[in-house]
Amino acid sequence: MKDRLARLGIKDINSGISTVLYHWNGQGELIDSFSPTNDSRIASVNLGSADDFEKILSIAQSAFLEWRTVPAPKRGEIVRQMGDSFRVHKEDLGHLVSYEMGKSLQEGLGEVQEIIDICDFAVGLSRQLYGLTMHSERPQHRMYEQWHPLGIVGIISAFNFPVAVWSWNAMLAWVCGDVCVWKPSEKAPLSAIACQNIIAKVLKDNNVSEGVSSLIVGDRNIGELMSKDARVALVSATGSTRMGKAVAQNVAARLGKSLLELGGNNAIIVTENADLKLAVPAIVFGAVGTAGQRCTSTRRLIVHNSLKDRLVESLVSAYGQMKIGDPLNKENHIGPLIDEAAVEMYLNAITSALNNGGELKYGGNLLTNLGKCYVEPTIIEVKEQIEVVCNETFAPILYVMAYETLEEAITLQNAVPQGLSSAIFTNNMQESEWFLSNAGSDCGIANVNIGTSGAEIGGAFGGEKETGGGRESGSDAWKAYMRRQTNTINYGKSLPLAQGIKFDF
């Protein structure tokens, strides 16, 4: 691992990190990054201070004035080079993500692949920042709309996807002509620093100001400064609903723009017409992938009464085949939770569910022989959607509920505060169409015969209700990073007014 870190610009895992870029080598408290895989210290990072934040924003402002004048396809060419650089560093960065965050190596590598994919998407987008042309009611007038960059985009990312979600924002923002200031999670700072090092070299090779991409490792105080600063045109924040509400209030108070990707409490409905050969692997991956620490993790299973016992039996059998351990070992499916606080939340949620009538079907134990943060994936059957089921717990806990009618199942699915991802397994066309209709799922993502996890970058990613309403990645999510302008050109020799108004003098 030491050699991989060195190739990513993290040169000393014993005495901390040395760098010439003050962007993330701040003046604040020194914190350690520990791997939850073995509780070992990887490196130390200085948190950024308020003074550091001020310096970064000043540099970002200056960089924006130049970056916005670069033609969008030229900006796309630089993003293309970034994608190529991430291809070169995919193995090293994927290993670091896995080691620092605790997800399986395949998921760590997959996260870096998401960066590469969004780079490819953004390159094409750089030639497709389309506006519309409208017909004017006034003779010899032309109307159209165009899109301009916003300015500084602040990105607050979470530990569970320490690099991919940042890239969804940054790559689009850059081709749109914005500059980015990134505050990663303090729980996974090294993965972010590695990305910054990769980006910095590409910018330097193209004689682009490093202020186009700034990074500051900081605590919630830095996040608060970012959300309150009017120079930050858009704050894109990924994390808990509690955090998102605080960001939204601060940004709204100054009439700024926010893009929020918050909690998820995702359900899979399995009807009596489902193919269980499809459903079982989707449920297992959705529930235990990343040790249940995805915003799109499957947390609730709503299954038709006629299939419940059979499906639970199949899941228990599948869970028993899951290999838990060091995520860098490709044979293992599940790594640790991020830290001991997450373990405590896991235990508290299980206790609450069992105290309120839940029945433990599988798991529920700590795996202290592997380390402090390893837990068993857990299945709990509940008779009704009790309070703990309605809350998001970032852990591999799956709650199973039975239903009789599809209307009842959809009502159960929608009866939580969050609205990110949802899925139904059925071979009945009427059931699938009902689920996708305006009387069906109220989530931003609704799938048929695939699970709740595994979003592709081509589609807009995000959810409704307490998930925040933001959209990132594909489709027309790029519009969040730009401002719309309507233009009218009079190429005639008279000045007719709209709606036939006369104003003679």
Which residues carry out catalysis? 261
Question: What letters, b where the CB count within 10 A reaches 16 and e where it falls short, cover 107-133?
Answer: bbbbbbbbbbbbbebbbebbeebeeee
Q: How far apart are CA 45 and CA 135, in angstroms?
A: 57
357: helix, strand or coil: coil
DSSP string over 355-404: HTT-EEEE---B-TTT-TT-B--EEEE-SS--HHHHS--SSSEEEEEEES
Assigned token pair, 402: 């039975």
Query: CB-hemisphere CA count at 13 Å for 200?
Result: 18
Which residues lie across from 445 on neighbouring strands? 421
DSSP category for residue 47: P
411 contact partners, CB below 8 Å, separation of at least 6: none
End-to-end CA distance of the chain: 80
Contact 199, 24 (CB under 8 A): no
Residues 6+ apart with CB under 8 A from 117: 457
